[in-house]
Chain A
Amino acid sequence: MAPNHSNENGSIGSSLHGVTAREQIFCFSVEDGPSSQAIRSDDPTAKFALPVDSEHRAKVFKPLSFAKPHMRAFHLGWISFFTCFISTFAAAPLVPVIRDNLDLTKTDIGNAGVASVSGAIFSRLAMGAVCDLLGARYGTAFSLMLSAPAVFSMSFVADAGSYLAVRFMIGFCLATFVSCQYWTSVMFTGKIIGLVNGCAGGWGDMGGGVTQLLMPMVFHVIKLTGATPFSAWRFAFFIPGFLQIIMGILVLTLGQDLPDGNLSTLQKSGQVSKDKFSKVFWFAVKNYRTWILFVLYGFSMGVELTINNVISGYFYDRFNLTLHTAGIVAASFGMANFFARPFGGYASDVAARLFGMRGRLWTLWILQTVGALFCIWLGRASSLPIAILAMMLFSVGTQAACGALFGVAPFVSRRSLGLISGLTGAGGNFGSGVTQLLFFSSSRFSTAEGLSLMGVMAVVCTIPVAFIHFPQWGSMFLRPSQHEERSKEEHYYGGEWTEEEKSLGLHEGSIKFAENSRSERGRKAVLADIPTPETGSPAHV
């Protein structure tokens, strides 16, 4: 039985392999026999602090540990991502001061907000390839340390144009989302990767909230030392800059690319067949579900990114709060990510257990629509307590929707998993750019009107989730196909490989994945009547 190749590190499509909690790790299982999952006494895995599987990925998630290499990688990954969120949105709470210094108009501020999220559309797509080639450590470090100069260059900004350019360049560092998820995917086994990635993603997103508190505080402290406001805000940007450099150095010195060591010093043994990028790209692009997810994430994460840019200024202007207080209110939006995003992923998992993939799709639709409805309410609220209440409910709904979406995304494709995750991530930034451009960059709408309209647009753009149909599992309104062949998971995932590729056995990873994804049938999963696919039966069963 040919060992599976597409699980090898470095093959295209493996960038975010493991994102689903359903993959079976079988890279060595064919040769190793039934004890492949257990730790043997002479096994080098005994040197790891956490129990590991045969690929040396951790089987247990201990958030309070910093053990090398797994938990250390997790913490370095999410803190790096967190730091980048701080830098990208550091300008937002200080806009009331910056707009006076640079004589900005609302259009200038809106355009700079669009620019701050646009850079990451490209850098997130590129980061998958960078991680495959250089490893997650360098991917993260490149992102952090090459964008630090952009953060520092806020001290040179003198007008609207340079302000926009600097925010655009700082925005590139949001690619750490991809490198962080890649890093956890190589460090943690498939069964727990959903929770690990949900935590890493949610805790990293919190940076957008923390920055609303941190920057006004730093600004205030610098003013106390005697600086004028127009100098103090520039100096305040040094703090995110320092954080990026420090995190970059920590990642390079303390981190490890793979459980067994660093990419450059490890000798890659065995065959590594890299999947063809053109094929992976084609199957990702051809699948209409990718684009629906692109739009959906654009109106959950996209809305969240937009709010990070506008909410502090909104509370400052509309309710006449101080910079400091507006920052606190705005921060609570981003901080809700700590539990809201993992909660969304968890809710999706629970729904899947009961109703299968249909449950996941309904959960996603409900969370995102409810979040958007509260966004409409936020724009219409004219008193501070109601606005805060609406904002909190809105934040939980939208952020949980982000988590729920990544409960669906891993099942859209097995072959192009990494690219789809990258495209979806880019969709978030794209959605943010669009909403900021439409609603917050001109004086046509007041910010309050903009918020409500954005909520309406989000409700409308969440409707496409009803069109995501899996023949083997159904969709929101349609039952799974009754057709003999099409109702099998193997047919769906096998369909991504040509007959020629199938004859070479390249698709075996997808077949294994299909077997594991049977759980998406919900309680109705009946394993007995599914015949074993002829090319996929593992020898040790």
Chain B
Amino acid sequence: MAIHKILFASLLICLLIQSSHAATKERLFSDLEKSALEVTATPSRVGEGVGVDKLSITWKVSSTATKEPEFKAIKVKLCYAPASQVDRPWRKTENELFKDKSCPHKISSWSYDPAMKAGQSFDYTLERDIPTGTYFVRAYAVDTKDHEVAFGQSTNEDKTTNLFSVQAISGRHKSLDIASVCFSVFSVVALLVFFVNEKRKAKIEQSE
């Protein structure tokens, strides 16, 4: 009977936690002020080649921005273009901000004060865990509660212009490859050695 009480109590607690979670997460992307920021992103090298790639990013507050007094910080993020979201539900764009997964890579964050209306310009070196894909850059303006109030992006609303692509590092290393081959060979050879040895011992014993 005690087990029943414990199970019922834990079920009740779970339900309470669930209902309390529901209230707070209603902030939507569509509520944000569009184009409050003007963002440009230019890759520093176009085309193939080996090496480290940079993005030159600029952002500034657009003249049409109305929520500018609320801005407390500017967060710049690397976002997936639709082509990189196909058949990849973990990168899906959702209207609810807390569910949205299309902008997972943080580029940088700037504390904002009204003197910074003219914006910033900086270089960003791509991290080595950025996957292969097509991207654009988006800057969110957040208020004191760390809630997004406005944004701007380097592409148009349909996300079709000014996209750039990134080729990820493969993560393969010669040393890894060599170690892998060595251990594989060792595994097979060890097995064969045991096998042949035992067969030979059995033959010797039988002939005695």
Q: Do A and B bind each other?
A: yes
Chain B, 168-204, CB within 8 A of any chain A CB: 168-173, 176-177, 179-181, 183-188, 190-191, 194-195, 198-199, 201-202
Given A156-B180, A235-B176, A265-B202, decide whether A145 and B190 contact each other with a Cβ distance below 8 A. yes
Closest A residue to B131 by beta carbon equals: A100
Binary interface encoding of chain B residues 75-99 relative to chain A, with 1 for a CB under 8 A from any of its CBs, else 0: 0000000000011111000000000
Taking a contact as CB atoms under 8 Å apart, the answer to whether B176 and A245 are in contact is no
Q: How far is the CB of A524 from chain B (nearest CB, A)?
A: 32
Taking a contact as CB atoms under 8 Å apart, the answer to whether A100 and B183 are in contact is no
Q: How far is the CB of A271 from chain B (nearest CB, A)?
A: 19
Taking a contact as CB atoms under 8 Å apart, the answer to whether A106 and B89 are in contact is yes
Indicate whether A96 reaches chain B with its CB closer than 8 angstroms.
Answer: yes
Q: How far is the CB of A20 from chain B (nearest CB, A)?
A: 32
Taking a contact as CB atoms under 8 Å apart, the answer to whether B11 and A265 are in contact is no
Closest A residue to B87 by beta carbon equals: A105
Q: Bound state CA distance, A156 and B170, in angstroms? A: 10
Given B128, B133, B184, which contacts A152 in the complex, CB threshold below 8 Å? B184
Taking a contact as CB atoms under 8 Å apart, the answer to whether B89 and A443 are in contact is yes
Chain A, 162-200, CB within 8 A of any chain B CB: none
Chain A, 380-417, CB within 8 A of any chain B CB: 382-383, 385-386, 389
Chain A, 120-179, CB within 8 A of any chain B CB: 138, 141-142, 145-146, 148-149, 152-156, 158
Q: How far is the CB of A308 from chain B (nearest CB, A)?
A: 19
Residues of A within 8 A of B46 (CB): none
Q: How far is the CB of B117 from chain A (nearest CB, A)?
A: 34
Q: How far is the CB of A51 from chain B (nearest CB, A)?
A: 30
The main secondary structure of chain A at its interface with chain B is helix
Given B13, B101, B171, which contacts A234 in the complex, CB threshold below 8 Å? B171
Taking a contact as CB atoms under 8 Å apart, the answer to whether A100 and B18 are in contact is no
Given B10, B11, B133, B186, which contacts A245 in the complex, CB threshold below 8 Å? B186
Q: Bound state CA distance, A262 and B18, in angstroms? A: 59
Given A96, A101, A248, which contacts B190 in the complex, CB threshold below 8 Å? A248
Indicate whether B21 reaches chain A with its CB closer than 8 angstroms.
Answer: yes
Q: How far is the CB of B64 from chain A (nearest CB, A)?
A: 34
Taking a contact as CB atoms under 8 Å apart, the answer to whether B190 and A245 are in contact is yes
Q: Bound state CA distance, A232 and B129, in angstroms? A: 11
Given A100-B129, A152-B183, A158-B172, decide whether A265 and B205 contact each other with a Cβ distance below 8 A. yes
Given B18, B86, B133, B206, which contacts A383 in the complex, CB threshold below 8 Å? B18
Residues of A within 8 A of B90 (CB): 96, 99, 313, 317
List, sorted by A's number, 17 A–B pairs whose CB atoms are closer than 8 Å.
A101-B131, A101-B170, A141-B194, A145-B190, A146-B187, A149-B183, A152-B180, A152-B183, A156-B172, A228-B128, A228-B171, A234-B172, A248-B191, A264-B199, A264-B202, A265-B201, A385-B17
